[in-house]
Amino acid sequence: MKALEMKGITEVVGREVPEIGGGFGVDKKSMLARDIAEFHNKELIHVNEAINNNRYRFIDGVDIIDLKGSEFVIDLVDNNILSKMQVAKSKNIYLLSERGYAKLIKIFNDDLSWEIYDKLLDEYFEIKDEVEVDDELALALQLNKQIGIALQEMAVHKVEITEVKEDVRRLADKVEFEVLDEDVRASEIAHHLGLTTAKSGNAHNQLVGAIAKGLGFKVGYQRRYKDEYIKIVEHESFYQVYYRPSGADRIINWFEENKDIISYQEYYSQISKYGNEGDLKERGYIVNGVKYKTYIAKYK
């Protein structure tokens, strides 16, 4: 940020405003957001809110300077531009260049704001500090200004187009990973096959997941993912695997074809507090070398 200086008080559109120079370069005029709010008959809090909601559009040192915490605020207080209470209560004390003001008007985007903008350009921003120029130079400066405004408009539209593209991308992404009625979780497949855990009797999700891994499904990814068999969707704090119809069918068909091969049963070899000799101790299925119990004997 270039050195700021108080150049006095000037009257603009019937109001007295502090003329602050230096912040954005030689002969670059600026205006406090407070004064802009008064010209546009808006509350300062709403003007600051409009800026903060679109802060990424404003380039520091080119479009805007936040004076909060700067030494120049002391000059504003000493010159009775702001009170100590106003400074203390303000989260931001924005100073805008002509370019920054133009961006703010684009955000306001109402007829009255554009009308006030034109008046401030004519009576403040476009008036140079006691510099005489000939007609050719004046024309060149005017053309340069018009080109600058056109480039600013192009930059704003470019940002808007980028935002639209991002919105479209997010929408397409949401549609791609939308959970459909035909998508099912492991618990639903387990219930369909009658697979429950030995202790709690809940759906045996781990057994279904083991079968899915054995079939080569990418169920272990901790990120969004989608293929012809599964869909991994991001929720607020976790990733949930959903099986698409082709994936659910493969798991069900594989289990029906292999359940006799992978099943196991264990019996008591002698009397115990859990059962008599020859009684069923536990049963389940072995997948990839791991036992998944679907029954275990309880106390007699």
Phi/psi at 62 (nearest 5 deg)? -115, -50
Stronger pLDDT, 121 or 32, i.e. the higher one: 32
Answer yes or no: is pLDDT of 159 > 70.
no
Mean pLDDT to the nearest integer, 157-178? 64
Q: Which amino acid is at 57?
A: R
pLDDT band at residue 131 under the 50/70/90 scheme? very low
* pTM of the entire predicted model: 0.43
Mean pLDDT to the nearest integer, 40-66? 90
d(CA 61, CA 94) in angstroms, rounded, equals 11
Phi/psi at 53 (nearest 5 deg)? -70, -20
> Which of 146, 107, 142 lies closest to 128 in space, CA to CA?
142
Q: Are 113 and 104 in contact (CB under 8 A)?
A: no
pLDDT band at residue 106 under the 50/70/90 scheme? confident
In this structure, the number of other CB atoms found within 10 A of the CB of residue 214 comes to 14
Mean pLDDT to the nearest integer, 151-155? 65
Residue % of the chain over a pLDDT of 70: 78
Stronger pLDDT, 243 or 115, i.e. the higher one: 243
d(CA 150, CA 157) in angstroms, rounded, equals 11
Residues in the chain: 300
Answer yes or no: is pLDDT of 64 > 80.
yes
pLDDT of residue 105: 82
Distances (CA, A) of 123 to 32, 70, 119, 152: 16, 28, 6, 21
Degrees (nearest 5) of the Cα angle 155, 157, 162? 95
pLDDT in tens, 264-298: 999 988 888 777 888 898 899 999 899 999 988 87
pLDDT of residue 143: 65
pLDDT in tens, 188-247: 999 999 999 988 889 999 999 999 999 999 988 888 898 999 999 887 788 899 999 999
pLDDT band at residue 134 under the 50/70/90 scheme? low
Token couple for 168: 């479209």
d(CA 19, CA 104) in angstroms, rounded, equals 19
